[in-house]
Structure 1
């Protein structure tokens, strides 16, 4: 990496980190051009050079943390473990992400992120392809072995992550009637029953 590329990466990181800090403190309305440049110490020209607009900065921030969430999920999968163990690990990793990175988790589960996904679904999916492929490569041998029901990939993903996303959104919205640790204990077994080849 050349010195110029390194400086550009450092500048981008400063802007992204500042935007996340502001989002965590004040929500999307707190992420203004003035606030980002003041908090990051980066010039207005640099913000526009790297991201094109404030919307571009927020989109890049959402994509960065969505990527980190998925990397955490893939990293949690046990190499030689059973599918049941894998479900427990993925659920635990997802809820740990929500607990450990509340501002980023709020952004990833925000209406803004949903709008971005709806507007650019194919592009977003293509960007997530390596992670989705890694999860598919992990689950396929367990389907072949008769451990997991032979369901289409998108449906398996919905059955595994759907309940976890619902709990995360509920928690992040301020409705704290479900404890994340309790959810991490209860959900994996319920999810496992829904995808087990033996059925519920």
Structure 2
């Protein structure tokens, strides 16, 4: 049997710690979770935990980035299939809801931890991780607008109109105040498209 490389062992250990951290933060809460809780669930040694992440704050940031990348990577796959502005808009909104429904612990973690000091302190790292992805999306929306497939708006207006209602719904859901009922993603996708689609040709002002 081929011996596992040192790098593979390290990555497996790192993955186990992140998975354990998400489990502990979900069950116990961020503030109440200890390194020992994470170590016990992951099966890793204390030395391994500190080697990979340092203190609990390091785990929090690494887990946040990991969940964010999972969301972005799967969204990219959906956006690659989009052939026009409408399918792009709908893909963003629908994926935001369906991914959260399929990955509730990760989605709630992203929502709840965004303004925690541990994550907020790593803002430059978060900007580096998301900046390129967001810029690519904005550029694609602007290109659709130039082609007449979307309303021509200031760049800063696209994301609030596109994702604002879905993000608000998810905040209530993460706080336990609302359910993600079947079909709600289509309702919000329809609403986003109505906000962003171009005015019908020949429309007259009353």
| 1:4-31 deviations in Å (ceiling 9; x for gaps) | 3222211111100111122232322453
Separation in structure 1 between the aligned mates of residue 34 and residue 120 of structure 2, nearest angstrom: 24
Unaligned residue ranges in structure 1 (runs of 5+):
none
Deviating more after overlay: 143-152 vs 61-70: 143-152
Instruction: Verify the 8 A CA contact 2:82 2:88 in the aligned structure 1.
Output: no
Q: How do 1:38-187 residues align onto structure 2 when only pairs under 5 Å count?
A: 38-77=40-79, 79-110=81-112, 112-115=113-116, 118-176=120-178, 179-187=180-188
Q: Which has the greater radius of gyration?
A: 2
CA gap 1:185/1:96 in 2 versus in 1, 3 angstroms: same
TM-score normalised to the size of structure 2? 0.84
For the residue of structure 1 that corresponds to 2:115, the secondary structure is helix
In terms of fraction of residues, the more helix-rich structure is 1
String of CA shifts for 1:108-127, please: whole Å, max 9, x gaps.
Answer: 001x3224565444432221
Secondary structure of the corresponding residue to residue 183 of structure 2: helix
Residue pair 2:61, 2:122 contacting (<8 A) in 1 also: no
Q: Give the one of 25, 28, 33 matched to 1:26.
A: 28
The runs of at least 4 consecutive aligned structure 1 residues that moved more than 3 Å come to 115-123
CA distance in 2, matches of 1:192, 1:4: 49
User: SS state of the match for residue 148, structure 1?
Assistant: coil
- 1:23 and 1:103 in contact (8 A); partners too: no
CA distance in 2, matches of 1:55, 1:122: 15
Question: Aligned Cα RMSD in Å?
Answer: 2.3
- Distance change >3 Å, CA 12–CA 78, structure 1 → 2: closer
Residue 61 of structure 1, CA deviation: 0.3
Question: Number of matched residues?
Answer: 196
The TM-score with structure 1 as length reference comes to 0.86
